[in-house]
Amino acid sequence: MRRTQSYRETKMRLLQKLFGMTWLGDAFEDEEKDPREWFNGSFRYHDYEEIVDLYVKGSPISCAVSKDDDGRVYISFYSGDYETISYLTVKSMTTTNFVEEMGVHFCKFEFLTDESGKNLHVKTVTKKQFHDRVGDYALMLPYIKEREIFRNNFILVYHDWDVLTCTSVMPAKKESPVLAPGVIELLDSAVN
């Protein structure tokens, strides 16, 4: 054997790479039998108190949108075991606090509660049941203006860049964003 330091370093790197590849092979050997679903679509929060805190502060919230109702979203959190998911349901209130700014529609979102109206409606289901209820994934982005009180107004921006369009007349639905009437004229007057 050579007694130079560079020879020893090269051999140690080779041994470390071989050991690392063996470890990875052992860790994922059962992957072919039962593939793991890595993509969850939305962030799973630690607990529902964290979700409520983000909602009250007016922070962006990651959510999943109901397959049956574009105005109903599910915000998931850890249930305590890896086979189930707990979630809170939030409903868009399209006629309450409706605001349109530059073509973007904001409306109030409220948590669904139980029959007494005092506790949040928390459901725990299996991962498969949860994914069967989900149609899309989105972010709830808040409507916040300086010197104004946050009134729980949000917009849903979907994973494909569509938005929740809500008006006081029609039910909320997923659509491509469009410019509000007058925006082009406003931009033209600002340039000229």
Positive or negative, the Cα torsion across 147, 168, 70, 73? positive
pLDDT of residue 33: 62
| Together in a domain, 5 and 100 | no
Q: Which residue is associated with the tokens 């868009």?
A: 92
State the Cα angle at 181 between 180 and 185, rounded to 5°: 110
pLDDT digits (tens, 9 = 90+) for 66-110: 998 878 899 999 988 878 999 999 998 877 788 877 778 888 899
User: How far apart (Å, rounded) are the C-alpha atoms in residues 53 and 152?
Assistant: 12
Judge whether 180 lies within some domain: no
Q: How many residues does the chain have?
A: 192
DSSP codes, 134-190: EEEEEEEEE---TTS---SEEEEEETTS-EEE--SSSPPEEE---PPTTHHHHHHHH
Judge whether 191 lies within some domain: no
pLDDT of residue 30: 66
Judge whether 188 lies within some domain: no
Sort 102 into a burial class: Cβ within 10 Å, 0-12 / 13-18 / 19+. exposed
Q: Which residue is associated with the tokens 């509660």?
A: 113
* 42 vs 31, more confident: 42
Regarding beta strands 163-165 and 173-175, do their DSSP bridges make them parallel or antiparallel, or are they unpaired?
Answer: antiparallel
pLDDT of residue 37: 59
pLDDT at 141 > cutoff 70: yes
Instruction: Kindly state the average pLDDT of the residues 162-176.
Output: 76
pLDDT of residue 113: 86
Q: Which helix or strand (DSSP H or E) is residue 118 part of?
A: none
Total tally of structural domains belonging to the chain:
2
pLDDT digits (tens, 9 = 90+) for 119-138: 788 899 998 899 899 999 99
- As a whole-number percent, the residues of the chain with pLDDT over 70 amount to 85
Asked if residues 77 and 124 have their Cβ atoms less than 8 Å apart, the reply is no
| Domain housing 154 | 48-175
Per-residue confidence band for 183, with pLDDT thresholds at 50, 70 and 90: low
pLDDT at 2 > cutoff 90: no
Instruction: Kindly state the average pLDDT of the residues 113-123.
Output: 81
The end-to-end CA distance of the chain, in Å, is 80
Asked if residues 108 and 92 have their Cβ atoms less than 8 Å apart, the reply is yes
| Together in a domain, 32 and 56 | no
| Together in a domain, 24 and 88 | no
- Measured CA to CA in angstroms, residue 189 lies from 100, 178, 184 at distances of 21, 20, 9
- Mean per-residue pLDDT of the chain: 83
Q: Which residue is associated with the tokens 């139980």?
A: 114
| Together in a domain, 53 and 96 | yes
